[in-house]
């Protein structure tokens, strides 16, 4: 059963599917809440995590599962990837609600605003978490390659050894080494895509 069919069973009130949903995705949701809180400087307060966790699940099922029904599996998006983004956004919204608000445009010392002081060119939390997920998925995909493929990947991509140099060292034709690299990249691309990226 694919993710979309599974969600459809959940929203139609199939209790065994909902139990499976809870079993399968509770830990993932909990861990992303924990990661976002940590990245925003909140101690891993069990109260915050539990509050967010309960509010998120409530939001998924309220109004006849309106939010969960919005999952459409578009562009090969897995349910896990969709839930990851929903969890990140929900947690950030929660943090905005509990923080006292101050004007970002109000001027402080020497005519500068809080916006000017706090402008940060670093990567955002959702982007950072997404990059970490992509890196983990890529490592998993590399692990399933055979040793020759890993060796080619290491030499050509990581160490920058040109294909022409490898072709001569391995005494094979240019077409053969190009084909090996093409197949290797196709394997990685397919594996990466199967993980929702």
CATH code: domain of residue 130: 1.10.10.10
Last residue of a domain, one of 66, 100, 134: 100
What is the model's pLDDT at position 87?
92
Residues sharing a CB contact under 8 Å with residue 153, sequence separation 6 or more, in sequence order: 142, 145, 184
What pLDDT is recorded for position 84? 93
Domain end residue (candidates: 63, 83, 100): 100
Distance CA 178, CA 13 (A): 52
How confident is residue 90, by pLDDT bands cut at 50, 70 and 90? Answer: very high
Give the chain's domain count: 2
Q: pLDDT band at 197, cuts 50/70/90? A: low
pLDDT computed for residue 121 by the predictor: 58
Cβ(7)–Cβ(71) below 8 Å = yes
- Per the listing, tokens 């309106």 go with 66
* Claim to verify: residue 96 and residue 8 sit in the same structural domain: yes
User: Per the domain annotation, does 107 fall within a domain?
Assistant: no
Asked whether residue 11 falls in the same domain as residue 78, the answer is yes
Residue 36: burial class (beta carbons within 10 Å; 0-12, 13-18, 19+): buried
Percent of residues, the chain, with pLDDT higher than 90: 24
Task: Give the structural domain span for 151.
Answer: 125-194
Q: How confident is the model at residue 83 (pLDDT cuts 50, 70, 90)?
A: very high
pLDDT higher than 80, residue 45: no
Among 66-70, 90-94, 119-123, 145-149, whose mean pLDDT is lowest? 119-123
* Same structural domain, 86 and 132: no
pLDDT at 1 over 80: no
- The reply to whether 20 falls in a domain is yes
Instruction: Look at residue 149 in the predicted model and tell me its pLDDT.
Output: 86
87, 166: one domain: no
CA 56 from chain centre, in angstroms, equals 18
Q: Are the beta carbons of 158 and 142 closer than 8 angstroms?
A: no
End-to-end CA distance of the chain: 20
Q: 73, 3 in Cβ contact below 8 A?
A: yes
pLDDT bucket at 174, cuts 50 / 70 / 90 = confident
pLDDT above 80: residue 109: no
Residue 108 CB contacts under 8 Å (≥ 6 apart), including other chains: 114, 117
Within 70-113, residue ranges assigned H as helices are 79-98
């Amino acid at each position: 059963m694919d993710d979309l069919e599974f969600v459809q069973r959940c929203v139609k009130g199939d209790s065994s599917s909902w139990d499976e949903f809870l079993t399968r995705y509770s830990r993932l949701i909990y861990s992303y809440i924990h990661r976002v809180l940590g990245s925003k400087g909140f101690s891993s307060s069990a109260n915050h995590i539990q509050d967010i966790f309960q509010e998120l699940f409530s939001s998924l099922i309220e109004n006849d599962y309106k939010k969960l029904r919005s999952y459409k599996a578009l562009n090969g998006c897995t349910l896990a990837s969709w839930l990851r983004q929903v969890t990140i956004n929900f947690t950030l919204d929660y943090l905005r609600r509990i923080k006292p608000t101050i004007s970002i445009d109000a001027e402080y010392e020497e005519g500068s605003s809080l916006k000017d002081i706090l402008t940060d060119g670093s990567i955002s939390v959702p982007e950072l978490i997404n990059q970490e997920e992509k890196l983990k998925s890529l490592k998993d995909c590399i692990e399933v390659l055979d040793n020759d493929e890993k060796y080619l990947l290491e030499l050509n991509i990581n160490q920058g050894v040109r294909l022409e140099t490898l072709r001569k060292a391995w005494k094979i034709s240019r077409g053969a080494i190009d084909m090996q690299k093409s197949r290797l990249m196709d394997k990685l691309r397919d594996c990466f895509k199967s993980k929702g990226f």
